[in-house]
Structure 1
Amino acid sequence: MAAYQTVVVGTDGSDSSYRAVDRAAAIAADTGATLVIACAFQPVGGRDVERAQDTLGADVAYQVVGSNPAEESVRAAAERARRAGAVKIDTVVVDGDPVPTLARVVAERGADLLVVGNRGLNTLAGRILGSVPAEAARKAGVDVLIVHTT
């Protein structure tokens, strides 16, 4: 099997998602792959911000509220990736839910590896509603690396 050519990693700006970015960047550096850092967001404004944060809760991975935090998340992730040795780095911020966004980015970029953190796998909500890592692994259609980040 050839080395990975394009690696997609999801981030929501959390410390745990940045640990997944670090691992994805190391893989990209080792294989010479392009690293695509993706962040899903839900645009909201005014009172909707508080309502969305209450609704989304702390266990929803790879999704931030509003576009500015998303832009900041991918910028910070790209800086980390450079420090970890990745050379070819693209960032993408997409309006949408985390799993469909990651699957779409994987397909659009022709990625052959998706990297996500394990946040949400062992929570009650994750077991009942499904977690981003588990759902992404089912729907990605490519190799998936779930990084132990918590």
Structure 2
Amino acid sequence: MNEKYETIVVGTDGSKSSLLAVTRAAKIAAAFDAKLIIGCAYYESEEEASKTLRQDSVTILGDSTAQKNLASASEAAREAGATNVETAVRPGTPVEALMAIVNSNDADLLVVGNRGINSLTGRLLGSVPADVARQSDCDVMIVHTVS
């Protein structure tokens, strides 16, 4: 077990709350001199997006919106002190995308915001933070981004 985080993944959907999680992850990455990978999920079509029962995350249609979100998140991460910043875009639900990014990069920490975790829908259907915490093989930090 490594005592130092070397690869940290954080998810963003472009929302203000997700940028708080990005900033926290960037500060941790700076402290550990770790690589920070900012991930964003997107749906390839309206049909794919409508299949999801979740309303706790922003629905991102298409790769170009995801890329815009990643550009502003990268800027925020660098402002917070992260120097080694990469981005990753994956189609699918936020949980599927984050798990794919974590696994393909052998990340040792996943940082997510807490949006949806305390909502009724989140308790009934699951939320992005709760689901990634259950599925992840690496440490998961849930940042308090929404009251």
Instruction: Give the TM-score normalised by structure 1.
Output: 0.89
Code of the aligned partner of 1:78: S
Matched pairs, number: 145
Deviation >4 Å, runs of 4+: 55-58
Aligned to 1:60: 57
Closer/same/farther in 2, CA of residues 57 and 135 from structure 1, 3 Å limit: closer
Q: Which runs of 5+ in 2 are unaligned?
A: none
Give the match's secondary structure for 2:140.
strand
Q: How far apart, in 2, do the equivalents of 1:8 and 1:67 lie?
A: 19
Contact 2:43 2:61 in 1 (8 A): yes
> CA offsets, 1:83-132, max 9 Å, x none?
00000011011111111211111111010000000000011110111000
Code of the aligned partner of 1:59: D
Code of the aligned partner of 1:60: S
Code of the aligned partner of 2:39: A
Code of the aligned partner of 1:12: D
- After superposition, residues 63-82 of structure 1 pair within 5 angstroms as 63-82=59-78
Q: Tell me the CA shift for residue 65 of structure 1.
A: 1.9
Contact 2:114 2:145 in 1 (8 A): yes
1:28 counterpart = 2:29:
yes
Q: CA RMSD in A?
A: 2.0
Closer/same/farther in 2, CA of residues 2 and 16 from structure 1, 3 Å limit: same
Aligned to 2:109: 113
Pick from 120, 133, 138 the counterpart of residue 137 of structure 1.
Answer: 133
Pick from 139, 144, 147 the counterpart of residue 143 of structure 2.
Answer: 147
Identity %: 50
Q: How far apart, in 2, do the equivalents of 1:117 and 1:139 lie?
A: 16
Q: How far apart, in 1, do the equivalents of 2:54 and 2:7 lie?
A: 31
Q: How far apart, in 2, do the equivalents of 1:56 and 1:129 lie?
A: 8
Contact 2:54 2:125 in 1 (8 A): no
Q: Which runs of 5+ in 1 are unaligned?
A: none
Q: How far apart, in 2, do the equivalents of 1:96 and 1:90 lie?
A: 20
Aligned to 1:90: 86
